Amino acid sequence: MLYIIGLGLGDERDITLRGLDVVRRCVKIYVEAYTSLLSFGLSSDGLSKMERLYGKTITIADREMVEEKADSILSEASESDIAFLVVGDPFGATTHSDLVVRARQLGLDVQVIHNASIMNAIGLCGLQLYRYGETVSIPFFTETWEPDSFYEKIKRNNQLGLHTLCLLDIRVKEPTMESLCSTFQSIAAYSGNSLCVGVARLGCEDQKIIAGSMEDLLEIDFGPPLHCLVIAGETHPVEEEMLNFYRIK
């Protein structure tokens, strides 16, 4: 059996009791290293805290490993219980559909244990989840590459009065604190006065949520990743009341 287990957003204590039960009875545990790892403290220290709490040795599986060694992971899962741990929810912002499809094509049982992801936890900012349009992913900009295909989606959501969740890409091998700022500057060129909510490390103890105009948010130091940005559409009074708690003073 292959178990795909969401770890939630904060740290090793955000696993569910159901998830922990499964981890403790699996013979081998992998954890993805290629998405969201920064928020989860998957440094060697974060990993050893997980290993102590879960009582298991955990193997980090980076993107290359999952792609190259999927056959051997799935072969193990055909003979014993294997857990694949995923930061957030297995089908949250990033998907693990490929691994699931391959497992099922081999006739393996796959069980998913859900957890929070950015896609639902963003509700904390006060804008109601059912009033979001299509989510956009914004890649890391470089001096020579500033893709803007996401902007049409933001504009369309805005025309429909819907909020837009913008997931900001991270450079796994070379994280920098400038990603949010450079992305904001590009979007601000389009919508400097739009009401936005900047969110850093959602679900972590040091999460930061600040609402204001895009231009005002440019001045804020949000600290380390992960970052996301919500561009508000039309807001209702109860949404406004929640946002007020996060507004730049």
Using the rule CB under 8 A, give the single segment among 27-35, 73-81, 215-223, 241-249 that binds a second copy: 241-249
Whole-number Å distance between alpha carbons of 37 and 101: 23
Q: Does 52 bind a second copy (CB under 8 A)?
A: no
> Which tokens is 131 given?
């009033």
Query: Which of 25, 52, 156, 171 touches a second copy (CB under 8 A)?
Result: 156
Q: Does 129 bind a second copy (CB under 8 A)?
A: yes
Distance of CA 52 to the CA centre of its chain: 24
Q: Which of 193, 237, 233 is nearest to 216 (CA)?
A: 193
CB 231 within 8 A of CB 150: no
Q: Minimum Å distance from CB 156 to a second copy? A: 7
By CB under 8 A, the residues from 194 to 223 that bind a second copy are 203
Q: Does 5 bind a second copy (CB under 8 A)?
A: no
CB 219 within 8 A of CB 172: no
Check whether 2 is labelled as a binding-site residue: no
Q: Name the residue nearer to a second copy (CB basis): 137 or 186.
A: 137
> Which tokens is 133 given?
């349009």
Check whether 19 is labelled as a binding-site residue: no
How big is the site for a second copy, counted in residues (CB under 8 A)? 56
Distance of CA 117 to the CA centre of its chain: 6
Angle at 36 between CA 132 and CA 233, to 5 degrees: 15
> Which residues sit at the interface with a second copy, rule CB under 8 A?
6, 8-10, 13-18, 20-21, 53, 89-93, 95, 97-98, 100-101, 104, 112, 114-117, 119-124, 126, 128-137, 156, 160, 162, 167, 203, 238-239, 241-242, 245
